[in-house]
């Protein structure tokens, strides 16, 4: 594989993981508040 291709794949994966973590974190916060109450 070319270096450029590897970098592109890594960047896409990092952005996707960051988006998933942020999205799941916002959901978990809502669930945690409901569970605590």
Specify the number of domains making up the chain: 1
> 3-class DSSP state for residue 2?
coil
What local confidence, expressed as pLDDT, does residue 36 receive? 61
What local confidence, expressed as pLDDT, does residue 9 receive? 98
Is the pLDDT assigned to residue 37 strictly greater than 60? no
Q: Which two tokens stand for residue 2?
A: 């070319």
What local confidence, expressed as pLDDT, does residue 28 receive? 72
Domain that holds residue 10: 1-37
What local confidence, expressed as pLDDT, does residue 20 receive? 93
Chain position carrying tokens 């569970």 = 35
Tell me the longest C-alpha to C-alpha distance in the chain: 53
What local confidence, expressed as pLDDT, does residue 25 receive? 81
Chain segment 3-25, per-residue pLDDT in tens? 999 999 999 999 999 999 988 88
Dist. CA 32–CA 34, nearest whole Å: 5
């Amino acid at each position: 594989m070319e270096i450029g291709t590897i970098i592109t794949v890594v960047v896409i994966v990092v952005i996707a993981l960051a988006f998933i973590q942020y999205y799941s974190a916002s959901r978990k916060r809502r669930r945690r508040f409901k569970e605590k109450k």
